[in-house]
Structures are given as C-alpha cells and as structure tokens.
Amino acid sequence: MSGRDPNFDILFEPVKIGPVTARNRFYQVPHCNGMGDRHPRGMAAMRGVKAEGGWAVVSTEEVSIDHTTDFAPAIEGRLWDEGDIPYHARMVEAVHEHGALAAIELCHQGIACANLESREPPLAPSAQTLNVSSPLQAREMDKSDIRAVRDSHRASALLAKRAGYDIVYVYAGHDLSLAQHFLLTRYNQRRDEYGGSLENRVRLLRELIEDTKDAVGDSCAVAVRLAVDELLGADGIEAAGEAPDVIAMLAELPDLWDVNISDWPNDSQTARFAEEGYQDGYTAFVKSLTSKPVVGVGRYTSPDRMAAMVRKGTLDFIGAARPSIADPFLPKKIEEGRIEDIRECIGCNICVSGDMTNTRIRCTQNPTMGEEWRKGWHPERIPPAASGDAVLIVGGGPAGLECARALGQRGYPVTVAEAGDALGGRVRLESRLPGMASYMRVADYRLAAFQNLPNVETYLDSALSADDVIAYDAAHVVLATGATWRRDGVGKNQRLPLAIPESAPAIYTPDDIMAGAAPADGPVLVYDDDGYIMAGLIAEKLARDGRDVTFMMPHSVVSPWTEMTLEQYAIQRRLLEAGVTILSGRRLTALDGAVRHACVYTDAEAELAAAAVVLVTSRISNDGLWRGLQARAEAGDVPWRTLTRIGDALAPATVAHAVYAGHRYAREFDAPVPDGTPYKVERVNV
Ligand code: ADP
Ligand code: SF4
C-alpha cells in the first residue's frame, strides 16, 4: 500500500499528450549533460535512471538537425541522418524500459552557433553578428534556406520517430533557436512574409510545428518549447507583451506547451538570485489560452507547491531539469510517501558547469550523476558491506558526511568525529552568506539519512589529535578535515607569500568573515584571486552591512568562473547595485601602510587606502593531522589498515568535489578499482 499523502495524488494522474499518454505529471524537460553524442552510453544510462525514478517524460538535450547548425565544441545531441539513430535508440530503450515517454528537442541554433566544425556560414533571419562570442557573422536566409531548414527539421523528426521517440519538440527558447530568432524584432528585419508583423515573424515556428505534425504526428506528440519572456523589457518578447499573442495564434496547434523564460541564465537562475517557483509569474497566463497541456519549470522541489500549481490550474506538468539531476528518484519518493528522502537541489548550477566546460554533467547533491554507466553508480542503490570493518571519519563537512552516509547505507559501522559544535563543515558557514541558505541542504540531506542508520555515530566538539586517532583503534581512518582560506595572498597570480608587515592594514580571510568577524572600521578591500563565488559573496555581505567596499581582481570581470554557472552577470550587477567599487585587471603587490597594486598588463603601480583587506586567494588543506599520523606510521606500528584523505583535505575544490570524493571512498572501500583508468571509457572504434 502506498504511504503517499493523498494531497499529492493529483501529481500521479496520467495526462494525455496528443497521441501518447504520460503516466504522471513529472516531466524532465530537456537539459544538457556534456555526454550527448560523445558519450552516448553514459547519456542513455543517466536518462534511464530518471525514468526508473518515476519521471513520466524524459527528454534529451538540444539535438542538432543538420550541418548548418553545428554546436561544436559543445557536447550535445545530433540527428543528421540514419547514422545517428542507434545512439538515440539506445536512450529511448533505456527510458521505455521503465515506462516513461522519451522526448527529443530538435534544434537549429541560428545565430547562437558559429558552425566551428562544419564551417558553414551561420544562418539568421537577417544578416547580423552572432549572439555568442565569435568574429563570424551570420548571413540572411533566403527562401531556399528556409525551405532547407524546414526539410531538415522534418527529416530529423522522421528519424526521431524511427529511433522510437514519443514526443518531438519544436524549439523556440533560450535565445538559442532559429524559430525564436525569427520571432524577435531585434533579430528579424525581413521585409518578406517572414518579417514585419507578428503573424509573419511567427510563420517559421508555425511551419515547423505543422511540418512536424504532418511527418510524425500520427504516433508522436509534438511539443513546443517557447520563451515567453526574456527579462529585456520591450527589447525582447514579454509575458505582458507579444507572448500571449504568439500562444493565442498557435494555441491548439502543438500537443503540448513547454514554456519558460529566456535566455539560459534567466531560465536556470541559481538559488542566490531566485527562489523556487521564480518563473510562475511569467508563465501562469499560458493555460488560459490553450486546452493543451502546459509544462513549466522553476526549480520545484516542494511537493506541496507542485500539487498547488496543478490544482490552481497553472501547470499540467511539473517540469524539472535540476531537481531531476539532484534527485532522479524525486517522483518515486513522493509517490511512496518518502518526502524526507528527497535530495533537494541547492540551486548552485555546478551541473551547468559540465556543459559549459564540455565535460560530463556533475551535481553537488547527487554524486552519482554522470557516473551511472562508466562507474556503474546508482543514485539509490549501493552494494552491501563485504565485512564488518569499522571506519573512523575525521571531519563532518560535505566529504565526511557523504562518506559516512554511503558507508552507512552499505551497512558498515561508521564514526564521524567533528571538531566543531555542529555538522556541515564549510556548507554550514557558507550558507550564512547572502542567498546561500540552500547550501545547507547538502548537510541536511545527509543528517536526515543518519536518522535511519543506527550504524552511523556522530560526535561533536571532538577535535582529534594523532594520539586520539591511534587510541580509537579503527581498522580504517578517513581524514575529511577540509581546508582553510590562506592569509598570505598566495593564489593564481601570487605564487609565493606576500610580505605582510606590522604596518599592513588588518588582514582577514573569508573564514574570519563567515565566523562573524567585522573588519576594522574604514574602507575595506576585498581582493579576489580565486575567481569563483566567495569574493563576491564576501563583498556583497560587507556592502549589505553598510561598509565602504572596493573589489579588486586581476581578472577583467568579477568572479569569472561563474560564467560556468551562469551567474557572472548577475553577480557583477548585484555588486554594482550594492555600491561596491570594482577595480579590474589589478594585482596586489604589497601590503604595507597602504595597499599597493599593479596593472596586470603594464605593471603600472598605484596605491589604495584601506583599513582592512579580505584576501580571497586560495585555500590550503588542513593536513596537520595527516602529517602527524604519517610521522607515527613511519615511526612504528599503527592500528589502522588504511589511512586516506578525501575532499578538501586532499585538494581544495568545490562542494560537489567533496561530496563526490566522500561517495567514491564508500563505493571503492572494499571494491578497489583495477589498475589503470578507474572507469569504463566510451570509445568510437572505426
Ligand atoms: P570538505 O568540503 O572536504 O568536507 P569541510 O571544510 O567542509 O571539508 O569540512 C571539514 C570539517 O572537518 C570541518 O567541519 C572541521 O571542523 C573538521 N575538522 C578538521 N580537523 C579536524 C580534526 N582534527 N578533528 C575533527 N574534526 C576536524
Ligand atoms: Fe541542483 Fe547544484 Fe545539483 Fe545542479 S549541481 S542539480 S543546481 S544541486
């Protein structure tokens, strides 16, 4: 018998989408994964796990329809000819095996791709520059080009049907699709029947829907993904402008509307900038204009909210990319009344960084994401313990907690000793910074799991020394002791410690600020040689506290690595709005009475007056205990059989790396990987 809350029954109603029926209302919308056509087995296994976890629809990423829209170097999908069918069929099979529908997002990227691999001139409604960084420009399409794109789209739809897909998308979203480019006046200045009036600008989208219905509509549903607002005011499509007219014109033509806001950074906003359900206000109007089912997204992880959305009649399907990545079994857990087991997305966009760096997807909360095929990791299942060996884990941060959870799930006796008065390590501290509360979910999920794991014991206020570890007499010792922000200026642009004389302004690190230290009165300099989120968070916090803050960095933009998490623009904007002065292209050269800095291009020197400096440069592993234990091991007998460092204690990295490291230790604990590459490699054998 299901232990499900009857309030959530509505989420498990089947919904008809044209000629096919979804078994419930959970819909994994298209999302990139950095595997696509390069690592098709990995991609298929990942999608299959989503289907197993209860999603009724599982979609691909963007799939290129022909060589005039070649997404290189991004690793995404391709369906150009018969040769691409087998890899799609593999994914479809993995999805069907678990009773879900498989959807494919066919795409022509128009001015959003430079065709670097195919070397074809990019295509556009009107001749113009690309909307991605490239010196190439796009040429205006003539009627035969439009005909050719329609033919390619139709041909890909037919191939998709042969591969077994149930739902075929026509894509007009994210500023990444030709049909959308035709819709937008800023891109379309044509004078023929494809430009000018809205009816003309909608024409290509309408034709693509009609073509697709005609080609495959007998057995496949045809979905449209449409951006209904671009947050650009009158310069873009608006929910309060033309978007309702577009929907009204095409209302009953597709079998499903998948609606969101554009571009990708707006659609996939991080928790720092947007709450769960942040798109509701933009997409709520859609259902009033069509009788077809509507899917929307907004990082939904709360079942109450999901059920309310359906009940209110705002959405028919709960769309999700990130919540399905963090917990592929989210629907199953709601269905079985296991709400407390849900691994909630923290909204960090580390998953996006995989696609942005052309590497496989990864997730802070779900260490198995992307590893389903090559390592055989499943998000819910793990082999049982092979012995009764006890494990002592020193440090209760993300690495230590995930290590304990996964070893505990296997059935091993585990002890976690934490120096502090609470568990969570870095996420406990970082979650206090502005907009970062959701990071605490990394610890909360694991602490909740401990409730059902009597074999995991945790001890607080237990800073272990080498003697303590030896006295504990565990067979296996794991050091997950984390890392500390450096106080000596060493980072990417300063490889040796800076001299910091008595006369220097007061020096702080992020650890000091997170622990509650208030910098000395007067202007504060935040110096960022790290490039990820921390310096921006510290500057934002200090500015909110009313401090006069200057943000200086050798980079040319604030927090450059956050381009990978789609946050860079939002972070820089937020700091500027908070009144932070930004000095780019400057490196710190000396700290004496004043702050001395130099231009990274010319070395021209300058001075800045600051009462306090927060150095956000790099972190150093907390390896004192490791060194102490190593010395004891060298000096004589020690009780443990293995001593291992994991996470930041081994090499400082993101929270996602620490969780992964903890999980990996637990997986490989009694199953050492063979020599050589520690995972299966997908190879194309010619
Ligand atoms: P990671 O991200 O690798 O998990 P964190 O810095 O988040 O690393 O967590 C490390 C945790 O280890 C911190 O909570 C810290 O208090 C704890 N710790 C560090 N040294 C010791 C020690 N000797 N004994 C017990 N706990 C320790
Ligand atoms: Fe959510 Fe972060 Fe995982 Fe992406 S990486 S799914 S944003 S927790």
Residue 22, Cα to own-chain centre: how many angstroms? Answer: 26
- Residue whose CA lies nearest to ligand 1 atom number 17: 395
174 is catalytic: yes
C-alpha–C-alpha distance, residues 229 and 232, integer Å: 8
| Mean of pLDDT values over 369-383 | 98
Cβ < 6 A, ligand 1 pocket: 394-400, 417-420, 425-426, 462-464, 480-483, 622, 625, 647-649, 658
C-alpha–C-alpha distance, residues 132 and 160, integer Å: 28
Dihedral sign for Cα 187, 191, 192, 195, please.
Answer: positive
494 lines ligand 2 (CB under 6 A): no
For the CA of 366, the nearest ligand: 2
CA terminus-to-terminus distance, the chain: 52
In sequence order, the β-bridge partners of residue 551 are 526, 582
CA angle 359, 664, 385 (to 5 degrees): 145
Q: Which of 70, 255, 267, 530 is catalytic?
A: 267
| Mean of pLDDT values over 525-544 | 98
The residue among 440, 26, 29 whose CA lies nearest residue 271 is: 440
Residues of the chain with pLDDT > 70, as a percent, come to 100
> Distance, CA 618 to ligand 1 centroid (Å)?
17
Q: Find the range with the poorest average confidence among 182-186, 266-270, 441-445, 590-594.
A: 590-594
Ligand 1, pocket-test mutation among 428, 462, 481, 534, most atoms within 8 A of CB: 481
> Distance, CA 366 to ligand 2 centroid (Å)?
8
> Distance, CA 326 to ligand 2 centroid (Å)?
6
pLDDT tens sequence across 193-236: 999 999 999 999 999 999 999 999 999 999 999 999 999 999 99
CA distance readout (Å), 408 to 91, 250, 341, 624: 32, 54, 15, 27
Residue 684 has pLDDT above 80, yes or no: no
Ligand 2, pocket-test mutation among 33, 268, 349, most atoms within 8 A of CB: 349
For the CA of 656, the nearest ligand: 2
Structure confidence at residue 402 as a pLDDT band (50, 70, 90)? very high
Structure confidence at residue 673 as a pLDDT band (50, 70, 90)? confident
Which residue blocks in 217-270 are alpha helix, DSSP H? 243-250, 264-267
C-alpha–C-alpha distance, residues 172 and 227, integer Å: 6
| Amino acid at site 498 | L
| Residue 522: partners with Cβ closer than 8 Å, 6 or more residues away | 548, 610, 611, 612
Domain boundaries, given as residue ranges, for the chain: 6-356, 391-482+622-668, 489-618
Looking from the CA of residue 365, the nearest atom of ligand 2 is 8
Residues of the chain with pLDDT > 90, as a percent, come to 97
Structure tokens at 439: 């990071």
107 is catalytic: no
| Residue 417: partners with Cβ closer than 8 Å, 6 or more residues away | 392, 393, 394, 395, 396, 459, 462, 464, 468
The residue whose two tokens read 């509360």 is 437
Looking from the CA of residue 350, the nearest atom of ligand 2 is 5
Q: Using CB atoms within 10 A of its CB, is residue 391 exposed (0-12), middle (13-18) or buried (19+)?
A: buried
pLDDT tens sequence across 29-76: 999 999 999 999 999 999 999 999 999 999 999 999 999 999 999 999
345 lines ligand 2 (CB under 6 A): yes
427 lines ligand 2 (CB under 6 A): no
SS (H, E, C) 113-156: CCCCCCCCCCEECCCEECCCCCCCEEEECCHHHHHHHHHHHHHH
* Contact (Cβ atoms closer than 8 angstroms) between residue 189 and residue 126: yes
For the CA of 346, the nearest ligand: 2
Ligand 1, pocket-test mutation among 392, 402, 418, most atoms within 8 A of CB: 418
* Homologous superfamily assigned to 391-482+622-668: NAD(P)-binding Rossmann-like Domain (3.40.50.720)
* Contact (Cβ atoms closer than 8 angstroms) between residue 489 and residue 617: yes
Structure confidence at residue 334 as a pLDDT band (50, 70, 90)? very high
Residue 103 has pLDDT above 80, yes or no: yes
Q: Which of 27, 31, 32, 229 is catalytic?
A: 32
Residue 682, number of CB atoms within 10 A of its CB: 14
Q: Which of 39, 153, 174, 597 is catalytic?
A: 174
220 is catalytic: no
- Residue whose CA lies nearest to ligand 2 atom number 1: 345
The residue among 680, 682, 644 whose CA lies nearest residue 661 is: 644
- Domain 6-356 matching CATH 3.30.70.20: the answer reads no
Is pTM, for the whole model, over 0.95? yes
Question: For 431-467, b where at least 16 C-beta lie within 10 A, e where not — what string?
Answer: bbbebbebbbbbbbbbbebbeebebbebeeeeebebe
| Mean of pLDDT values over 660-681 | 93
Structure tokens at 8: 């959530």
C-alpha–C-alpha distance, residues 415 and 423, integer Å: 13
C-alpha–C-alpha distance, residues 57 and 104, integer Å: 10
Looking from the CA of residue 268, the nearest atom of ligand 2 is 7
| DSSP notation for 59-75 | EEEEEE-STTS--TTS-
Phi, psi of 411 (to 5 degrees): 110, 5
C-alpha–C-alpha distance, residues 159 and 93, integer Å: 15
CA angle 146, 152, 156 (to 5 degrees): 150
- Domain 489-618 matching CATH 3.20.10.10: the answer reads no
C-alpha–C-alpha distance, residues 154 and 646, integer Å: 51
Helix (H) or strand (E) holding 606: strand 605-608
Helix (H) or strand (E) holding 587: strand 586-591
| Mean of pLDDT values over 19-37 | 97
For the CA of 367, the nearest ligand: 2
pLDDT at 1: 45
| Residue 117: partners with Cβ closer than 8 Å, 6 or more residues away | 70, 72, 73
- In eight-state DSSP terms, residue 8 is G
pLDDT at 208: 98
pLDDT tens sequence across 142-167: 999 999 999 999 999 999 999 999 99
Structure confidence at residue 449 as a pLDDT band (50, 70, 90)? very high
Structure tokens at 563: 């381009």
Residue 584, Cα to own-chain centre: how many angstroms? Answer: 27
Helix (H) or strand (E) holding 583: strand 581-583
> Distance, CA 315 to ligand 2 centroid (Å)?
23
The helix/strand/coil state of 80 is coil
Q: Which of 171, 282, 300, 660 is catalytic?
A: 171
32 is catalytic: yes
| Mean of pLDDT values over 251-269 | 96
Structure confidence at residue 594 as a pLDDT band (50, 70, 90)? confident
The residue whose two tokens read 């959807």 is 103
The residue among 317, 206, 184 whose CA lies nearest residue 262 is: 184
